[in-house]
Amino acid sequence: MNPTGNTILITGGGTGIGRGLAEAFHRDGNQVILAGRRQSVLEDTARANPGMRFLLVDVENLDDTQRFGAQVKTEFPTLNVLINNAGIMKSEDLKTGAQDLALAEQTVAINLLGTFRITAALMPRLLAQPKATIMTVSSGLAFMPIYPNPSYCATKAAIHSWSQSLRYQLRDTSVEVLEIAPPYVQTELTGRFQAEDPNAMPLADFISETMALLKNPPPSGEILVERVRSRRFAEQDGTYEQTYEQWNDYATKRIAERAAKGDRVHAKLS
């Protein structure tokens, strides 16, 4: 994709990685449209970055995503970049049976079906452009899960697989497909703890390295900062079993530390 002069729509663009990418693209001279369902968050981000626009959409709702697609076609006919970033991450206890089933279903609806729905709604607009890009945001957890967040990890693994199929299907069109797989980054995805965790990659560092990689994407289409590569290629390198056990032991330690402080939310570790 060209580094500037694009019309870029980012779902979940009001906070965290989404906001970081939005502001970086905005500084580079792109028209950026934020999309999400929390108007106050979107307004705050747009207000802090004059020239940004925002639209409301509920990616859990099929009818609303279809309405949204029509709105984008009318208001932003030059749209040529879609970044599917919206997502949630909740902890689940699978031993409780159906108790956490609603959380699992919501995670699938937002992280996975939301990506499918928004992409489908905007695909005709993107295919109509001389050059366009679809980006998905998966996770290092797509390649090495942690046990407290089974549905999140599963949706990100599915996003990776789906991105590969989408890339192949669009190989003879004007639309390229890129996948951003973040490591553990200092955002509030799982709560304030994550944003302050010194073990997480600083958001500014992640955005800077990602933007540099986007200027010359690899043939695989996978945008991998250095910090996530060990997990992405652990199976290939023959280190998967050992690293998986170490990482999930570490997750257990972190959960215990947070429980001792009265924090019931599990940290995102990737």
Catalytic residue numbers? 152
- What is the number of residues in the chain? 270
Helix (H) or strand (E) holding 247: helix 240-260
Centre a 10 Å sphere on the Cβ of residue 127 and count the other Cβ atoms it contains.
12
Residue 55, φ and ψ in degrees, nearest 5: -135, 145
Identify the three-state secondary structure at position 204.
Answer: helix
Distance CA 184, CA 202 (A): 9
CB-CB contact of 33 with 52 (8 Å): yes
Q: What is the DSSP letter of 185?
A: B
Neighbours of 226 (CB within 10 A): 10
Q: Which residues contact 174 (CB under 8 A, 6 or more apart)?
A: 127, 129, 130, 131, 132
**CB-based contacts of 169-175 (< 8 A; 24+ apart in sequence):** 170/134, 173/127, 174/127, 174/129, 174/130, 174/131, 174/132, 175/126, 175/127, 175/129, 175/132, 175/133, 175/134
Q: Which of 25, 22, 27 is nearest to 55 (CA)?
A: 22
